[in-house]
Amino acid sequence: MAQSPGRSHTEFTAADAGAIADASALPAEFKAELRVLIVDDDRTLREGCVSVLESEGYQVTSTGRGDEAISLVQSRKWDIVLCDLFLTPITGMEVLKATLTHNKDTIVVMMTGNPSITTSIEALREGAWDYLPKPFAATHLQVLIGRASHAIKVARETRDMDAQVTRDSGNSDKMVLLGVSPSFRKAVELARRVAATDASVMITGESGTGKELIAQFIHRHSRRASRQLVAINCAAMPEPLLESEMFGHRKGAFTGADRDKPGLLETANGGTLFLDELTEMPLSIQAKLLRVLQDGVVRRVGSEQVDAIVNVRFISATNREPADAAATGILREDLLYRLRVVPIKLPSLRQRMEDIPLLANHFLAHYWGRHHGSTEASPKFSDEAIAFLRTRPWRGNVRELQNVIEHLAVLAEAGSIVRPDDIPLHEEDGGMSRGAAASEGGFPPNVMGEAYHTAKEKVIAHFEREYLSRLTARAGFNMSKAARLADIDRTTLYRLMEKHGIRRDEPAETTEG
């Protein structure tokens, strides 16, 4: 059997096929409702697929031409389209696009006798549900179409439940993500677009940028929103415990396994599994996870049979560069291709400084209400306090800002105006503590223990850094405006900023890394 990129060398056994059929069994009347279109210019393969799927109870139509396929998908509704990638003169990719343009809910599976990483990933990014390498056995076709049928069933049930929730509550309680910066809005828009599909998403970004929040946003805007979002932190558990949590275990599989236990993959069936800190997952578990991604097959720890077939949408996250992790061998390359169908890169808070006022005011109102209730007037930030927040390095990103504002909300007085000196900072935040500043008259820490000329140089350097940071924030990082406000020429401003290692506001990074 031909192998495709990312496909394991584990073959199906007869026992596997039987267990899969049992685990993913669908009512005959449901199968009879499903309409399948097969598109391939190989007559023998086409007729073989028709025979197999008709014996399973599906309504099956076939064609050997891409233009006929496009006419068929435009004139009728199809639940599943099984299409060869390399058709001529109308390509399978064109059939894929036409199908999803006409009906975005159709599941499209691409067949290819010349599988490659590039073509397979391109098809998945264009909306293909999966791909099937040629030649393939009837068992593989049955399993894949069975999984697709199960996905259709879950999607229909989810839509029905969403409609009922909307009727009952009058709204769907969708999440809103705060931010106006172009780089952040681009990431959110990409998340919104991919949410409607079942494509695997990989979210990258520094710690504290909101990767799990984006995962929740995708799930809650997806067709799986009424099912569970199950999160696993791959760095939080040792290997044996992580494997048991993910895959479940059989009674007697290890000391203390006194009963059968389903894993989180089974818990997430029909919903979404969020793999946080993906690059920390041991390689042995990565290999086992790959089988689930390819075939939906789950074997619990200590089991020698298929225990479940799951239909799960995968979202993963890492603060590392995934390609570097694959190059160094800590992340399987085939797993990377399966999980990074759509990459989303989140900008650091330093790259979206214009969002700080919005975030800070939101956090202040939220935590004031949590810790003080709604009977007392919330404090308000002064313009100087907002400008000061925009000068901080925020190495912990939004999470660090959130923690600082919660600390502030706990200690603030009702109705007060928050000044820069009221904002709690610590040595590790990249600035001096307020206590040190007060005790030495605003000088850098321990400066009074230095000789006069050394202390003078440190005080001047401290003043220049603070002045430049607040100046550029006040000017909205417009260097011409900052130079005018300071009454100095831009050359002098640039020289001072370079001297103190202060960077000009750089163009935001793309979110599609």
Q: Where are the domains of the chain?
A: 14-166, 182-347, 351-499
Q: Any residues with CB less than 8 A from the CB of 473 and at least 6 apart, and which?
A: 353, 387, 388, 390, 391
Residue whose tokens read 């907002």: 386
Pairing of strands 308-309, 313-318: unpaired
Q: Fold match between 182-347 and 351-499?
A: no
Whether the pLDDT of residue 499 is over 60: the answer is yes
What is the spatial distance between Cα 224 and Cα 468, in angstroms, rounded to a whole number? 49
Q: Give the pLDDT confidence of 309-330 residue by residue, as tens digits.
A: 888 999 999 999 999 999 999 9
Conformational region of residue 477, where left means phi above 0, alpha means psi within -120 to 50, and beta covers everything else: left
Measured N-to-C along each axis, helices 452-474 and 490-499 cross at an angle, to the nearest 10 degrees, of 120
Residue type, 148: A
Topology classification of domain 351-499: Helicase, Ruva Protein; domain 3 (1.10.8)
Contact indicator for 84, 92 with CB cutoff of 8 Å? yes
- Residue 2 confidence (pLDDT): 37
| Torsion sign, CA atoms 138, 144, 145, 150 | positive
What is the spatial distance between Cα 494 and Cα 472, in angstroms, rounded to a whole number? 11
Q: Give the pLDDT confidence of 391-430 residue by residue, as tens digits.
A: 888 988 999 999 999 999 999 999 899 998 889 875 444 4
Q: Give the pLDDT confidence of 203-251 residue by residue, as tens digits.
A: 999 999 999 999 999 999 998 988 899 999 998 888 989 999 999 998 8
Q: Give the pLDDT confidence of 427-441 residue by residue, as tens digits.
A: 444 443 444 333 344
- Residue 165 confidence (pLDDT): 47
> Residue 385: what are its φ and ψ, rounded to 5°?
-65, -40
Burial per residue of 366-381, b for 16 or more beta-carbon CB atoms within 10 angstroms, e otherwise: ebbeeebeeeeebbeb
Mean pLDDT of 57-78: 94
What is the spatial distance between Cα 19 and Cα 22, in angstroms, rounded to a whole number? 5
Under DSSP, the state recorded for 422 is: G
Architecture of domain 14-166 in this structure: 3-Layer(aba) Sandwich (3.40)
pLDDT averaged over every residue in the chain = 82
CA-nearest of 162, 164, 98 to 127 is 98
Whether the pLDDT of residue 106 is over 90: the answer is yes
Split at pLDDT 50, 70, 90, the class of 134 is confident
Q: Give the pLDDT confidence of 136-185 residue by residue, as tens digits.
A: 889 889 888 988 888 888 777 766 655 554 444 444 445 568 888 899 99
What is the spatial distance between Cα 348 and Cα 292, in angstroms, rounded to a whole number? 33
What is the spatial distance between Cα 311 and Cα 130, in angstroms, rounded to a whole number? 13
Topology classification of domain 182-347: Rossmann fold (3.40.50)
SS (H, E, C) 185-219: HHHHHHHHHHHCCCCCEEEECCCCCCHHHHHHHHH
Of 7-16, 263-272, 352-361, the one with minimum mean pLDDT is: 7-16
Please report, to the nearest 10 degrees, the dihedral formed by the alpha carbons of residues 206, 175, 403, 372 taken in order: 180
Which helix (H) or strand (E) segment holds residue 107: the answer is: strand 107-112
- Residue 448 confidence (pLDDT): 67
In the structure encoding, which two tokens stand for residue 253, read together? 């599989």
